[in-house]
Amino acid sequence: MSDLPIVLLPLGSDEDALDACLAALDAATPAGTPIWLADDAQAGPRGIDIVERWLQRTRLRAEYTRRAHPIGEVAHLQEMLQACGDADVVVLAADAQPLHGWLAQLAACLARDAAVATATPWCNAGETAGWPRLGEISPLPAEPALTAQACAAMPPQHPELPAAVGHAVALRGSARMRVGGLDAASYGSWYAALTDLSLRLSGLGWRNVLCETAFVARGGEGGPADGDLEALAARWPAWHPRLAGFLMNDPLQQAREQLQQLHERLRTTPQHDLFAASAEPAA
């Protein structure tokens, strides 16, 4: 599966969420996909046991590393990105649950447009990439297979987002190398560091887009560390007004409605006709 990005999974301390994440990841991702589980000394004994048991049975080509002492969320993730060089990667939150086809669709999104630096899938708690509602935390998809099929049937137009969102994001390696990666000196959270990275990429002409053909569920939203919002506002004075304008004007309303319509249509379609052609991402 060398044509797929490397999946980076920085571990957290929520053991139940990690267990659900690993189960969903294994079920929704092609066998042999490279994945790196990296622990910044966050997982407790039960979390480590969950990881070790999962490593013994997973179909994925997985590696696990654990630091003896934590260095912080952003610094740890920057170390991971630096170790990957210029390879394309997907950073997945440790409490996320990817749906079938998610990784191939994100890879296809990067391949369609060389100007795309970050690609973010839909999420029930995805802030600007939220579905079925924008800016709200909705329940996990009740019919994940149906939701994945509906997403795969969406036309791949990849509209612009204000910034990538942290539940899952594909990062183009060449673009990431161009801007120097994450700013671990200025931000304490992945939420803020990803926003800053997205804005620096945008300033150099790269695109931060929605991958509307993929869906990654999550139990809640990521958030900033103390001082992060002030640091973002100081460096990027137009950021908060731009985000507020996006949320108020809702340029993705039509796309969300289209996804809802596909969802409803699939419910009335015979099982053997369910978008068989969508098993492969559209070119």
Please report the pLDDT score of residue 281 as a whole number: 52
Which residue in the block uniquely carries the two structure tokens 């539940």? 167
Q: Which of these, 215, 179, 227, 216, lies nearest to 199 by C-alpha position?
A: 179
Dihedral angle sign, alpha carbons of residues 17, 185, 180, 39? negative
Hey, is 64 helix, strand or coil? Answer: strand
Give the DSSP H/E element, type plus range, for residue 143.
none
Q: Encode pLDDT of 142-162 as tens digits.
A: 999 999 999 999 999 999 999
pLDDT at residue number 279? 43
What is the average pLDDT across 226-233? 97
Let me know: does 76 contact 121? Beta carbons within 8 Å: no
Q: By CB neighbour count within 10 A (0-12 exposed, 13-18 middle, 19+ buried), where does 196 fall?
A: buried
104: number of Cβ within 10 Å: 22
Q: What is the CATH number of domain 6-269?
A: 3.90.550.10
Q: What are the structural domain ranges in the chain?
A: 6-269
pLDDT tens column, 189-215 = 999 999 999 999 999 999 999 999 999
Confidence at 267, pLDDT banded by 50, 70, 90: confident
For the record, the structure tokens of 118 come out as: 């970050």
Q: Which pLDDT tens digit goes with each residue over 173-184? A: 999 999 999 999
Identify whether the C-beta of residue 148 lies closer than 8 Å to the C-beta of residue 215.
yes
Confidence at residue 274, expressed as pLDDT on a 0 to 100 scale: 46
**Is residue 270's pLDDT more than 80?**
no
Cα dist from 113 to 5, 122, 177, 273, whole Å: 16, 19, 18, 30
Q: In what order do the strands lie in the sheet with 116-122?
A: 61-66, 34-39, 6-10, 89-92, 168-171, 116-122, 207-218, 96-98
Q: Where are the alpha helices (DSSP H) in 60-214?
A: 73-83, 102-112, 144-152, 173-179, 190-203
Question: In 32-167, which ranges are continuous DSSP H helix?
Answer: 45-57, 73-83, 102-112, 144-152
**d(Cα 164, Cα 90) in Å, to the nearest integer?**
12
The upper half-sphere exposure of residue 73, i.e. CA atoms within 13 Å in the direction of its Cβ, equals 21
**Degrees, nearest 5: CA angle 30-32-33:** 65
How high is the mean pLDDT of the chain?
Answer: 94
Pairing of strands 168-171, 116-122: antiparallel
pLDDT band at residue 2 under the 50/70/90 scheme: low
